Chain A
């Protein structure tokens, strides 16, 4: 792990003086082997896409189906 790469990660999270980080958490990917550098790079690139405006805020995923009451579902089985 290069110091340069770590510095880049730190810069991507702490570069703005008007912003204070409160919390950062990850949902690990599915590969068994993940390098620290690869994880940092994914975060930095995503943050960069936001800064450049190529990644914009959208919506959370909506359910595909209307909600059902499981009490009714089970009673009808």
Chain B
């Protein structure tokens, strides 16, 4: 399955907030059998790193049989940010091979690029694995704030009957990400996120 398909599946949803466990159930329904373990690390400094996924293949017996284990570690932050971080990292479980970062040199490149201040980021210089790390944030936003939900609250938002804070509270994501979804460019971004031929 692809993340694009997952976003499409969630885009019609009008029941919110979306539980993180629903996202896991959705990838399980598509055949993912990897073990998934969340670690809420209160000692992880969210000013440096809000979270990460370490996805491994383990040899489990002498015959060489393997299993896949995804460990998702997230810092203590606001509830909404913790949900977004967890959702983003869960989506990486289904990263296609070309987006995965697994060798020492790939990891070095990712670290070098991901620490850059946002205003110094030039995505055209990112390789696919780095770009996928940045893109997954918006993919997670699209999953947790489905397009159908956005379109239903848009009139109330436009005429002032619902504030951005109320909408963010409804879907339980950070206000700044709810703001992006409610903006006029979101439909185009969403289309890009679900279109199969974009990188």
Chain A interface residues (CB < 8 Å from chain B): 6, 9-10, 13-14, 18-36, 38-40, 42-43, 45-47, 49-50, 55-65, 67-71, 73-74, 77
Contact = CB atoms under 8 A, between A and B. Distances in A.
Size band of the interface chain B makes with A: 35 or more
A21 B37 CA distance: 15
B58 A19 contact: yes
Contacts of B93: 23
B139 to A, nearest CB: 12
Consensus secondary structure, chain A interface: mixed
B156 A46 contact: no
Given A23-B92, A25-B89, A63-B19, A47 B104 contact: no
B39 A50 contact: yes
A9 B74 CA distance: 19
A63 B49 CA distance: 23
Contacts of A46: 39, 41, 43-44, 52, 73
B61 to A, nearest CB: 10
A27 B117 CA distance: 13
Contacts of B74: 27
B172 A27 contact: no
Given A10-B104, A25-B133, A58-B40, A32 B117 contact: yes
23 contacts: A20-B102, A21-B54, A21-B56, A22-B102, A23-B55, A24-B53, A24-B102, A26-B111, A27-B89, A31-B48, A32-B117, A33-B117, A56-B39, A58-B38, A60-B21, A60-B38, A60-B72, A63-B83, A67-B17, A68-B15, A69-B15, A70-B149, A74-B153
A24 B101 contact: yes
A53 to B, nearest CB: 12
B68 interface: yes
Given A30-B47, A61-B20, 15 more contacts: A23-B93, A25-B95, A26-B51, A27-B52, A32-B118, A35-B115, A36-B115, A39-B49, A39-B111, A47-B54, A61-B79, A63-B83, A64-B17, A74-B153, A77-B156
Interface in B11-29: 14-21, 24
A22 B100 contact: yes
A39 B48 contact: yes
A41 B34 CA distance: 27
B43 A70 contact: no
A57 B82 CA distance: 15
